[in-house]
């Protein structure tokens, strides 16, 4: 049998022992490094709003109680946000319209988890993104660079500029800012996004942005993240079609409001985006 150990049923005992050991090893590893599963991720209008949320288990923190000498380990999960805002075209029977969001609310509903105020990030007055447009220019080439800092409080921006006479292309930079504030209880924290510049709608991205650190109170721990909007959050930014001919400004404003309501009813049903996470 070439040195193989065979059991009563003809099974290789060496392979059986290895399989049992490997299963125990994997179970121990999972218990030491439990994962956070993404059960669902839905974005109804991905060009307008695209969002994901990732959970990363952290090393257990030890909490000491002031009125006693006892302590307890707290399991924590870091929640990282990826979100992108932009405009989106929507076809109509006699044309099409382009819309975006002026504001919206990201809310977390936690089951067996809590996020106290001190564990929340992304609560600075402004977050800055840079949009770059390339233009052809004769006789002068401008080179500009912007460095944005996101320290708590007002953002800092450092600009460098150089110029030389030539024929070619120039990069034009434009700042887009939006304001983010937080609210809500520990089990239902929320972040409100709002336009903070002259831009009509929210534009820009946040990538792997730490949103909060959640304390796990029991298992399974579940996180339901939703991005909710209302009629006032929707902005019609452009339209194409014969029905726009000879519209006076007053009627155009009323039409934009009616279109926003129509979009919210049939296309932008709240929540616009949602993510479900589970930690066992």
Give 30 or 61, the one with higher predicted confidence.
Answer: 61
| pLDDT digit string, tens, across residues 258-273 | 888 878 777 888 899 9
Q: What is the mean pLDDT of residues 15-29?
A: 47
For residues 227 and 109, is the Cβ–Cβ distance under 8 A? no
Residue 53, in any domain of the structure: yes
Q: Is 110 exposed, middle or buried (0-12, 13-18, 19+ CB in 10 A)?
A: buried
Q: What is the mean pLDDT of residues 62-79?
A: 66
| pLDDT digit string, tens, across residues 196-255 | 777 889 998 899 999 999 999 999 999 999 999 998 999 988 888 876 766 667 777 777
- For the sheet containing 234-241, what is the strand order? 88-92, 95-101, 234-241
What three-state secondary structure class fits 117? Answer: helix
For residues 125 and 178, is the Cβ–Cβ distance under 8 A? no
Residue 22, in any domain of the structure: no
Residue 20, in any domain of the structure: no
Peptide bond connecting 220 to the previous residue in cis, omega within 30 degrees of 0: yes
Give 137 or 52, the one with higher predicted confidence.
Answer: 52
**Lookup: tokens for 255:** 């039409």
Q: Please name which of 42, 79, 120 lies closest in space to residue 223, comparing C-alpha atoms.
A: 79
Domains contained in the chain, number: 1
Supply the range of the domain harboring residue 102.
34-279
Give 89 or 19, the one with higher predicted confidence.
Answer: 89
Residue 75, in any domain of the structure: yes
Lowest mean pLDDT among 26-40, 54-68, 196-210, 246-260: 26-40
| pLDDT digit string, tens, across residues 161-205 | 445 555 555 545 445 567 899 999 999 999 999 987 778 899 988
Residue 8, in any domain of the structure: no
- Please give the mean pLDDT across all residues of the chain: 74
Residue 21, in any domain of the structure: no
Residue 17, in any domain of the structure: no
Residue 147, in any domain of the structure: yes
**Lookup: tokens for 47:** 């060009």
First to last CA, the chain: 45
The enclosing H or E element of 29 equals: helix 13-32
């Amino acid at each position: 049998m070439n040195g193989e150990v065979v059991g009563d049923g003809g099974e290789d005992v060496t392979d059986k022992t290895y399989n049992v050991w490997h299963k125990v090893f994997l179970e121990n590893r999972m218990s030491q490094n439990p994962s956070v599963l993404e059960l669902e991720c839905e974005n109804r209008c991905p060009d307008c709003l695209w969002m994901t949320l990732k959970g990363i288990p952290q090393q257990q923190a030890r909490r000491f109680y002031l009125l006693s000498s006892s302590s307890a380990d707290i399991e924590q999960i870091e929640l990282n946000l990826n979100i992108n805002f932009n405009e989106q075209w929507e076809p109509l029977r006699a044309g099409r319209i382009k819309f975006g969001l002026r504001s919206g609310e990201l809310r977390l509903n936690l089951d067996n988890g809590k996020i106290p105020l001190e564990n929340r990030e992304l609560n600075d007055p402004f977050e800055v993104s840079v949009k770059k447009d390339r233009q052809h220019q004769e006789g002068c080439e401008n080179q500009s660079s912007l460095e944005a800092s996101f320290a708590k409080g007002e953002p800092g921006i450092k600009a460098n500029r150089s110029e030389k006479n030539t024929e070619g292309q120039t990069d034009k930079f434009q700042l887009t800012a939006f304001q983010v504030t937080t609210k809500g209880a520990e089990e239902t924290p929320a972040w409100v996004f709002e336009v903070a510049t002259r831009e009509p709608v929210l534009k820009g991205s946040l990538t792997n942005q730490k949103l909060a650190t959640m304390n796990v109170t029991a298992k399974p721990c579940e996180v339901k993240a939703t991005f909710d909007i209302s009629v006032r959050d929707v902005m019609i930014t452009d339209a194409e079609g014969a029905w726009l001919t000879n519209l006076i400004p007053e009627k155009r404003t009323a039409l934009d409001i009616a279109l926003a309501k129509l979009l919210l009813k049939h296309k932008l049903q709240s929540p616009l985006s949602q993510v479900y996470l589970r930690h066992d």
